[in-house]
Each structure stands twice: as C-alpha cells, then as structure tokens.
Amino acid sequence: MCLTDIRARMHRACDEAARPCDSVTLVAVCKNRTAEEIAPLLAAGQRVFGENRVQEAAAKWPALRAAHGDIELHLIGQLQTNKAKEAVALFDVIESLDRENLADALVAEMKKQNRILPCFIQVNTGEEPQKGGAAPKDLPDFYAYCRNAGIDVAGLMCIPPAQDVAALHFALLRKLAGELPAPKPLQLSMGMSGDFETAIR
C-alpha cells in the first residue's frame, strides 16, 4: 500500500462521509520500519508519524528530525512511568495516556522540560484485560483527573479487539467523547490500515 493510494482512499472516504478532508490526519505508524524505509514518506510530504516504543523511536527520530524540522511524532504504545522523561523529550503527542500515575509523571516531566504535549486518553472500548486504556465507565473521572492535573487532553484513542466489528468501537469512542465536558471538540484517534475508511465514516 503506498501513500498516494492511502491519500486517495482517505479523500474518497471523506467525500462519502461529507466531511472536509482537512478534518482527518494520517498518522503514519512506522514501528519496525527503518529510517531508510521512512525517508520516502518524508520526501512525499508526510509529517505525522506514530511509534509504539520509546527505545525504537529514540534510535530513529532524532536524526530524522534534524533533517526535517516540522515532524510531529506520536507515541501510540503503552508507556511506563519510568520512561516518561524520555517520552516527553522525544515525542510531540502522547496517545496512550491510560492511568493516573502516568498522568502525574507526564505533568511532572512536562513542567521540568518546559514542554507541553497534547495527550489522547486511551479507552479500552473492548474492556480487554491485556490492553491498556481506561474502561468506558471510568472515563469521565479519569478525564477530570487528567484535566485537573494540567494535561492538555486533545482527544481519545482506541484499539478495538481484533475479532470485533471495529465500527461499533469507533462509534462508542465518538459517543464517549461527546459526553465529556471538553472546552473544544475532542479528536478521535482510531483506525488502522485495515479499517481507516470505517474510522473516517
């Protein structure tokens, strides 16, 4: 699958859903990809990327950033509190905020480093025990906790159970976002290679 095809499919899905194309952002997930594999995407203008592990991102992105200043790097994988310092230094957006002690660790590090990273709260819409994320019923309290702690909550993120109909989880995430007392509309980070058109719809 190439970037040009994905962009065309995103446009089509936006048209079909009657939503403006600039209301959707492609986060190019490049875990397990080398800097050489990422280079053509940068050359084609892609600037928003996702990584799921701090160590792997630390090995690739400082050099890529030095060559292309305007990159926006998202952490999409689970984050241990003892890696919060490195994550805050390396990433621009944290998409996997899923528990109170992580919110505390991120706020402390952002203050220390004088950096503000928008965060997405990960919601475990399928309530899978092995997956990170706040349970839907705990989301209002966790959202309030994060806001009170000083986190800029930009939106919600979910990774549906592999065997489920993804659309139901995407719809739930949207509903949950609409029920939170957010100062501006929350963004939704959802959909992967196999279902991004469903996520856009």
Ligand X SMILES: *Cc1c(COP(=O)(O)O)cnc(C)c1O
Which spans of this chain sit near ligand X (rule: CB under 6 A)?
A: 29, 31, 52, 76-77, 159, 192-194
- Residue 183 Cβ, how far from ligand X at the closest point, in Å? 26
Beta bridge partners of 74: 50, 93
Residue nearest to ligand X (CB): 193
Q: Which residue has the tokens 């029920």?
A: 179
Q: Which is nearer to ligand X, 129 or 194 (CB)?
A: 194
Q: Which is nearer to ligand X, 29 or 107 (CB)?
A: 29
Q: Which is nearer to ligand X, 31 or 85 (CB)?
A: 31
Q: Which is nearer to ligand X, 144 or 192 (CB)?
A: 192
Q: Which of 178, 177, 189, 118 is nearest to 150 (CA)?
A: 118
Q: How many CA atoms lie within 13 A of 40 on its CB side?
A: 6
- Residue 50 Cβ, how far from ligand X at the closest point, in Å? 6
Beta bridge partners of 122: 157
Q: Which is nearer to ligand X, 28 or 149 (CB)?
A: 28
- Residue 192 Cβ, how far from ligand X at the closest point, in Å? 4
Q: Are 42 and 63 in contact (CB under 8 A)?
A: no
Beta bridge partners of 157: 122, 189
- Residue 48 Cβ, how far from ligand X at the closest point, in Å? 13
- Residue 28 Cβ, how far from ligand X at the closest point, in Å? 9
Q: Which residue has the tokens 């230094």?
A: 89
Q: Which is nearer to ligand X, 52 or 124 (CB)?
A: 52
- Residue 114 Cβ, how far from ligand X at the closest point, in Å? 28
